[in-house]
Structure 1
């Protein structure tokens, strides 16, 4: 089983089979594990190291009051479901969203101590899950951001496909879109939409509870202000932090591919309503807005995913006619028409103090593209990102990407 710092992200959905079929056909994910309980069905999807847990609760869990007490008792000892049930019990659950980001930790007991000391809430105390493949220590804590929870996992030699309690899926769930194989390798980052003015407290919470460290989005970023986008109809502040598996013991630098970055996004005062406010309204509060899927070949990924039915937001046409951008594109050897055809953005701006994966490489750049929201409301979407040496986020791309999202969000009301 893969052992990156990000173990999996969990979606709560109303129609699990429809969701997993969409991810299999459109993005090349494969269903590797499944479990069914009285109160829910859960599927595990994988593409490279990117792992998604899809949870469809039984509708009776929240429709029949007579079952509420019984379901609470049943799920109390099931850490792989009780964070959803806690959301539902607190009327804090938003259907069709990412609500759980599971992290692999080195010392679970110490992390739980840090969470308690930092003012965090432990939903499920540490316990042991086991099956014929080994044992896993597990606990669940509530994040300080909206409906987000964190399942914490610690293990050394568990050999199962996912976690104890899951089995191989039915044969009809294993079918995959072979055209998409290898086009998604791992999750690059996760973006949260936050209430205005809350990012300093959120950064502090994650530093205290999980020993996460500030990560600068771009070399133009101010430490206190963050990275600001003050453009027509946008007006956003962005800050980021980084987590790696051994961060709580300081055993690694966190600069490996196994680290995960959280990006915080909030609107700016006096800028008017924008996509951040739209998310907060449609999602009924803060939460996960998008997940960055890493691809080693974004051109092939975009064209293939489009053929599979993925819908993307398109960047403004002026992006590909700007003289500075044209020079930048040509410098790294791309043809602007190839980028324009796929609506892919390129930015060579990278943090100068980052170590290069290839020391001989002089041109470092990013390629990025956003999908349209994947649910019925204007909430969660996906990003495709390819890095060539660059470790940060390009300033030009950020503004162009968010301008494209803003145009789509304001032109399309929720269903």
Structure 2
């Protein structure tokens, strides 16, 4: 299947305007469009945010029986849709369903230039398959009204979505990996067993051909002490997206700017950087940014503190210099930092 990358991510939230304010004032997103009953979206209010090539749709239900309202009642605010860009949404829909995906919404055309179809993903998260033609400044013609947005006044802090991290219950990791291989043609590019104190978790990373879409799948090890993955599954009430990683060309500037705007970041002990002796690490140490490598290059990562009342979803920042996958040092260190945050 010909997947181009992550087209957008849709969150179901209790208050789209409040969620938009946090993302715009803290992370540097801007309001690109809006929709609701007056634009042909009955029972909901949606706001489209953008920064770089990253598009985030925030949707709140206006009635108790709207899918967004039911999602929020069960899970709290969270990712409900990860949309995959494709050159042929109808063909991708047929192929994924033939591969075992459940059909959710058949192909539908918006304004003659955008075609979407929706299939199952994991838990209550689905995948919208999106085919685009024509102007780049339209999102869903006819239902999302685009706003006049001028060029950014400063440097954009993020350019796109690098990957999504997904927590699944015990016994579902291999099954979920097989599903993405069979239905979407993804391949396993990385796997690791992660230890954080007395906790343990299994991780497998699946990626689309061409590398445009990456999902990190994580399952708790129930033979070890309960930990943050168990907490996520309990607080979120089932599998879901634990975090989204935003790609940045200058992670240090992004951290500084976001911190000035009130965004908190996970703390990393100074001892972590002693293992990086000989490298120019001062810029990383003072911000808590982690450094790792794979066979192709380096990557820098940091977790932001969760802004959600259930302390489930959070954002990550990542900057890659040649690295295509993940190294073996950062993932345990990232989750150790998150464990310290959750303990406060």
Give the TM-score, by structure 2 length: 0.91
Structure with greater Cα Rg? 1
Aligned to 2:178: 204
8 Å Cα contact 1:193-1:287 kept in structure 2: yes
The structure richer in strand per residue is 2
CA shift, 1:115, in A, is 2.8
SS in 1 for 2:244: strand
Measured at CA, do residues 175 and 376 of structure 1 come closer, stay the same or move farther in structure 2, by a change above 3 Å?
Answer: farther
RMSD value, Cα: 2.3
Q: Which residue of 1 aligns with 2:97?
A: 116
**1: CA distance, partners of 2:124 / 2:151:** 31
Matched, 1:269 2:243: no
Are 2:79 and 1:98 equivalent residues in the alignment? Answer: yes
2:308 is the alignment partner of 1:375 = yes
Deviation of 1:305 (Å): 0.6
Q: What does residue 16 of structure 1 align with?
A: 16
Distance 2:171 2:257 in 1: 40
- Distance in 1, matches of 2:338 and 2:8, equals 26
User: Matches of 2:261 and 2:152 in 1, distance apart?
Assistant: 9
Separation of aligned partners in 1, 2:328 and 2:103: 38
**How far did residue 203 of structure 1 move?**
1.2
Mapped partners of 1:118, 1:210: distance in 2: 7
Is the 8 Å Cα contact of residues 111 and 209 (structure 1) preserved in structure 2?
no
SS of the residue 2:158 aligns to: coil
Alignment of 1:140-289 (within 5 A): 140-143=118-121, 145-164=122-141, 165-169=143-147, 178=153, 181-216=155-190, 226-243=191-208, 247=209, 254-255=210-211, 259-289=212-242
Contact 1:12 1:97 in 2 (8 A): yes
User: Is residue 288–residue 302 contact of structure 2 (8 Å, CA) maintained in 1?
Assistant: yes
Match of 2:290 among 345, 351, 361: 345
Instruction: Mark the CA change 1:4 to 1:310 in structure 2 (over 3 Å): closer, same or farther.
Output: farther
* Partner SS, residue 368 of structure 1: strand
Cα deviation for residue 93 of structure 1 reads 4.7
Contact 1:233 1:406 in 2 (8 A): no
Q: 1:6-155 maps to which residues of 2 (within 5 A)?
A: 6-37=6-37, 38-58=42-62, 61-62=63-64, 68=65, 84=67, 88=70, 93-130=74-111, 134-143=112-121, 145-155=122-132
Structure-2 separation of matches of 1:94 and 1:318: 37
- 1:104 & 1:92 partners in 2: Cα distance? 29
Gaps of 5+ in 2: none
Query: How far has the Cα of 1:116 moved from its partner?
Result: 2.6
Output the CA distance in 1 between the equivalents of 2:130 and 2:146.
21
Give the deviation of 1:301 after TM superposition. 0.8
Query: Structure 2 matches for 1:373-412, cutoff 5 A?
Result: 373-409=306-342, 411-412=343-344
Work out the CA distance in 2 between the residues paired with 1:102 and 1:204.
20
Aligned length in residues: 337
Tell me the SS of whatever aligns to 1:235: strand
Query: Are 1:192 and 1:263, in contact at CA under 8 Å, matched by a contact in 2?
Result: yes
> Structure 1 residue 325: deviation in Å?
2.1
TM-score, normalised on structure 1?
A: 0.76
In 2, Cα distance between the equivalents of 1:166 and 1:391? Answer: 34
Q: Cα distance 1:110–1:30, how it changes in 2: closer, same or farther (>3 A)?
A: same
The superposition leaves residues 338-395 of structure 1 with CA deviations (integer Å, 9 ceiling, x where unpaired) of 2221111112x212xx4xxxxxxxxx31111101112111200011111112112121
Equivalent residues of 2:181, 2:187 under 8 A apart = yes
The counterpart of 2:268, out of the listed 300, 307, 315, is: 315
